[in-house]
Amino acid sequence: MTARRLKAAVVDLDGTMVDTLDDFTASLNGMLAELGARPISREEVIGYIGKGSEHLVRTVLSARFSAEETDARFAHALDRYQAHYAEVNGRHTELYPDVEPGLAALAQAGVKLACVTNKPHRFAVALLEKYGLAGYFSVVLGGDSVTRKKPDPLPMLTACEAMGVAPSEAVAIGDSENDALAGRAAGMATLTVPYGYNHGKAIQTINSDGIVATLLEAARFIANPVSGSGATLNR
């Protein structure tokens, strides 16, 4: 990351601010039980999440049904998955360490904040409100807020426009390759946290500008990009 003044941060939700793996697993198993299909494990879910509900449901179905059956069942399965998720959203989640202090530090430093996630907007807002984080964000975009999801840069560009900053003045913070790809394609700096999902792949495979242990470390690094805060820089 170049030593420039960053005015905004676009922060991912699942795997970056909150651990929602057990919510995903419970909702998918509710859906699969209705379909009479074998249940899914937490380990299998890790490899699928991060690209939106539609991709998640289709991938889970494809591992259990033929292509024709998957297509035939998809619309109903997606509807049932979202119904189950609405019931459990936030029930099994945990806030990752130093998330709230990190957001507070960014806000105190005058950094504008947006949350951009591939999760449906209504579920994202509910989670942010549950953990008292909604007030930090002037912009919240879900996977259904714009016409394309991450790794497409459109959500990131939309968030920057809404905050009134150029992409070159913003940093994307997330746990997966999708976040880094979307941020980089939008012309933003990128930082990665090491504790999320990343589709089951090693965090070192992500081409970002650096790895930060927590959002609080990210805040310190953004405030002082010259000396940093112990962040592991990739380049």
Catalytic residue positions? 12
Quote the CA–CA distance of 159 and 14 in Å, as a whole number: 17
Measure Cα distances from 54 to 41, 59, 123, 144 in Å.
Answer: 19, 8, 14, 10
Sign of CA dihedral 214, 217, 222, 227: negative
Interacting residues of 65 by C-beta distance below 8 A, sequence separation 6+: 37, 73
> Cα(217)–Cα(101) distance, rounded to whole angstroms?
10
> Helix, strand, or coil here: 80?
helix
CA–CA separation, 197 and 177 (whole Å)? 10
Q: Are the beta carbons of 42 and 100 closer than 8 angstroms?
A: no
Task: Give the three-state DSSP class for 46.
Answer: helix
